């Protein structure tokens, strides 16, 4: 079991994936870095009539263990009603023992008030799924 645990920890992996309004990075002390995420969201009202084209910020936080290679590939597929409506594949180069982040900006057209699911994986590994539901506009 210990050998399997070591193998799992040696893989670049996703710590979190979230739809956000904004992301800011800044140094705090020495080489330490902070990431400020604002407007984390899992649903929201449509700001205009359907069809509506949504261009979210999907922030994916990643960790590369010290013993892992530095090159990997992040794949994100956006599924809406069982159909892949957007796909993004990008190379990752993260220094071993460090963290990284990727920002993905798809264009997704909603024809109805539905849920889109972002399915994120690194090198065809485990999938992290993040939903976003578009709701009817708020009257007012």
What is the dihedral angle through the alpha carbons of 94, 95, 99, 101, rounded to the nearest 10 degrees?
-20
Residue 126 tokens, joined: 């485990």
- Distance between CA atoms of residues 20 and 109, nearest Å: 18
What sign for the dihedral angle of Cα 8, 10, 12, 16? positive
> What mean pLDDT do residues 3-29 have?
75
- Return the pLDDT at 4: 42
Q: What are the tens digits of pLDDT across the range 44-85?
A: 999 999 999 999 999 999 998 888 777 889 999 999 999 999
- Return the pLDDT at 131: 98
- Domain range summary for the chain, segments of one domain joined by +: 2-135
Bigger pLDDT: 93 vs 5: 93
- Return the pLDDT at 10: 54
> What mean pLDDT do residues 4-31 have?
77
pTM of the model: 0.85
What is the residue-averaged pLDDT of the chain?
Answer: 88
Topology adopted by domain 2-135: Immunoglobulin-like (2.60.40)
Residue 84 tokens, joined: 């892949």
């Amino acid at each position: 079991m210990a050998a399997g645990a070591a193998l799992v920890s040696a893989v670049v992996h996703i710590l979190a994936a979230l739809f956000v309004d904004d992301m800011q990075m800044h140094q705090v002390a020495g080489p330490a870095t902070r990431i400020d995420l604002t407007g984390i969201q899992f649903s929201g009202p449509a700001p205009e009539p359907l069809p509506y084209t949504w261009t979210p910020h999907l922030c994916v936080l990643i960790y590369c263990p010290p013993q892992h290679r530095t090159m990997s590939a992040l794949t994100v597929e956006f599924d809406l009603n069982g159909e892949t409506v957007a796909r993004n594949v990008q190379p990752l180069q993260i220094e071993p023992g460090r963290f990284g982040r990727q920002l993905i900006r798809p264009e997704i057209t909603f024809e109805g008030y539905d849920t889109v699911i972002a399915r994120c994986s690194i090198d065809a590994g485990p999938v992290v799924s993040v939903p976003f539901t578009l709701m009817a506009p708020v009257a007012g």
